[in-house]
Structure 1
Amino acid sequence: MNIDWSLLKTFLTVVQAGTVAQAAAQLACSQPTVSRQLKELETQTGLTLFDRRGYRLVLTDAGASILEFAQNMADQANHLALAIAGKETVVNGTIRISTSEVIAYHFLPPVLVTLQEQYPEIDVEIIVENSAANLSAREADIAIRLFRPDKLGLVRTKIGTLEIGAFASKSYLELYGVPRTLDDLVYHNLLGYDQSAEILDGFRKHLPDANPSLFSVRCDNHLVYWNMIRAGNGIGFCSTLMASQDKMLTRVLPDLKPDGNDVWLATHEALQKTPRVRAVWELLSSQLTKRLWE
């Protein structure tokens, strides 16, 4: 039996994505193409791989039996790609940088100007996400993270720390007044995260009974959150470096210092010494370190 590897790749993507639509988006092809490839794989294997429940696809026992093989083949393909990439000898091509919304919006653009000037033969793709890209699967070549990447096979270095403080717009403080103590905060509109417990956990160090209802507005999108502070929606918590450069914002309760976010660079060890990755790594390290410690 000859099974087309590209069909197994589609099968694996559908399993991971959960729906044909999401898998098609990840594979950059149409939904009919994905559906057709799944049917072709079922024809080649003689197995029914999914139970179709509306838009969702649920693995059958037969589908589960070949999932491990498909994953192993994908892992081997990724290892091969990393090994080939590790043999590169010239500083050109495309490099994919995965980073968070905060770093991408506030810190990365000026650094990319320098990168474009020094290495015009390198094309850059920026992946903006707050979750961790899979460096082993080549979803990104370099990651800039606000947490320490801990997966095996990664090379990482800490390049700085983002200190966090409480800030509000001048318009908000003119309307509601300036809090003088931590207890005053219960009389103010506080901005928090929704699914992330980062801000709430910080509050519980000072107010053990703090719960999500403490925040009048909650949002996990960092750029929306940032603009809510600037617009006067309430008191929010963000990088002191970012906020101190914004004339619309004023720091409140300067003695309230939530835990900061360490900033890390990471890449796969197989890519670290390739000229393209090494050049961008060193530039990001020097430029971002400088900006984070300004």
Structure 2
Amino acid sequence: MNTPYDAEKIARELDWNLLRTFMVIVQEGSITRAANRLLLQQPSVSQALQRLEARIGTTLIDRAPSHFRVTSAGQMLYEECAQIFGTISRAVQTAQTTTDELTGHVTIATLSRVESPHFDQILSDFHSQHPQVRFDIDVLSSKAVQKAVLEKSASLGLCLVYDPHPKLEHSIMYRAYFGFYCGPSHPLFGKTGLTLDDLRGHSSISFRTDQLTDALRPVALVRAQHRLDERVIGYTSHLGEALRMITAGLGFGPLPSHTADQYVAQGQLWRLPPYENMFEIDIYLVHNPNARLNTAETAFFDKLNDWVSATDLEERTYFPAH
């Protein structure tokens, strides 16, 4: 068992490349895939893991020819390493952005099709003021967005939130209303006066967060109450792919009304019940208060956060068209 002195000594003497190799092994879920990603031979990667475990004095990954499992100690070490490497990356960016003109790199992790004219205007205004700042926008699932912000690989995130992470700060970016829609080839397309019970028995499309224990709980609750989840034939984490499957006639499914309205007007979607009391869903701005942001990240986050703080929620709400 390592004493506090031992831990301090290990930190001073440890080869940090071993930690980097360990992170990649966990991310890839395989020593072979990790070796391919690192452009190393498999025995070298395996030996690096063995050296790290021997130096720390505990098993980090249970492994066998048909078995690979990260231990609780390994998971804790991985999470710490991810944050350390995120901090180092940000420190380098900060050192590179010390000119009079604002430069730097802003990474935004977002769920797909965040459609907000307000956000678009903020992005446009910021670029006009600081044209040298570069943006990298990664489209991820909501859980992956929070993970990226937590690990400091993203400057900020835009996502659904069901279970807020205690180490992150969350504020409502905007509010949307979801409803059920179907495409032109669906049997219910063009029909009026329907009830939720009329949807029963029809195939449907579902978001992965469309669960009773996730961010689209209001949608999942109605599905369960009216037994609309018996024939789910399409799952996705991306709004664009849900829209594709729904318009292609694979089934009906939930979409944000301010996204769907234009397709309804073009005859590509049809609004289904509930016609009143649509599902109220919030999109959050997620920030890691422990992340050391570079000057560009700080300026963009402040601009976005200031708008959220100064604007009433009703003005940040996209109501359905009637």
- Normalised TM-score (structure 1): 0.73
1:217 is aligned to 2:233:
yes
Task: State how far apart, in whole Å, the 2-side matches of 1:269 and 1:81 are.
Answer: 16
Task: State how far apart, in whole Å, the 2-side matches of 1:250 and 1:66 are.
Answer: 49
Alignment-derived partner of residue 141 in structure 1: 155
After superposition, where does 1:1-294 map in structure 2 within 5 Å?
Answer: 2-20=13-31, 23=34, 29-30=38-39, 32-33=40-41, 35-40=43-48, 42=50, 45=54, 52-54=63-65, 56-58=67-69, 72=80, 75-76=83-84, 78=86, 91-103=102-114, 112=123, 114-130=125-141, 131=143, 132-147=146-161, 150-172=164-186, 177-178=191-192, 180-186=194-200, 188-193=202-207, 196-197=210-211, 202=219, 204-205=221-222, 208=225, 210=227, 212-213=229-230, 215-222=231-238, 223-246=240-263, 247=266, 248-271=268-291, 275-284=295-304, 286=307, 293=318
Task: State how far apart, in whole Å, the 2-side matches of 1:106 and 1:56 are.
Answer: 48
* 1:114-136 CA-partner distances (Å, limit 9, x unpaired): 55443321111122111223324
Give 1:262 shift.
0.7
Contact in 1 for aligned 2:199/2:228 (Cα 8 Å): no
Q: 1:197 to 1:107 in 2, by over 3 A?
A: farther
Give 1:38 shift.
3.5
> What residue identity is the alignment partner of 2:47?
K
Task: State how far apart, in whole Å, the 2-side matches of 1:99 and 1:133 are.
Answer: 11
Task: State how far apart, in whole Å, the 2-side matches of 1:151 and 1:216 are.
Answer: 30
Give 1:195 shift.
7.2
Give 1:100 shift.
0.6
Q: 1:196 to 1:21 in 2, by over 3 A?
A: farther
Contact in 1 for aligned 2:200/2:228 (Cα 8 Å): no
Task: State how far apart, in whole Å, the 1-side matches of 2:125 and 2:33 are.
Answer: 36
What secondary structure is seen at the aligned counterpart in 2 of 1:241? Answer: helix
Q: 1:177 to 1:276 in 2, by over 3 A?
A: same
Task: State how far apart, in whole Å, the 2-side matches of 1:191 and 1:67 are.
Answer: 34
- In structure 1, stretches of 5+ residues that fail to align are none
> What residue identity is the alignment partner of 2:273?
L
Q: 1:152 to 1:229 in 2, by over 3 A?
A: same
Give 1:78 shift.
4.8
Q: 1:35 to 1:283 in 2, by over 3 A?
A: farther
Give percent identity, aligned residues only: 19
Task: State how far apart, in whole Å, the 1-side matches of 2:198 and 2:74 are.
Answer: 59
CA RMSD of aligned residues (A): 4.3
> What residue identity is the alignment partner of 1:120?
P
Contact in 2 for aligned 1:97/1:124 (Cα 8 Å): yes
Deviates more, 1:123-132 or 1:235-244: 123-132
- In structure 2, stretches of 5+ residues that fail to align are 1-9
Q: 1:11 to 1:270 in 2, by over 3 A?
A: closer
Q: 1:159 to 1:67 in 2, by over 3 A?
A: closer
- Normalised TM-score (structure 2): 0.68
Give 1:280 shift.
1.9
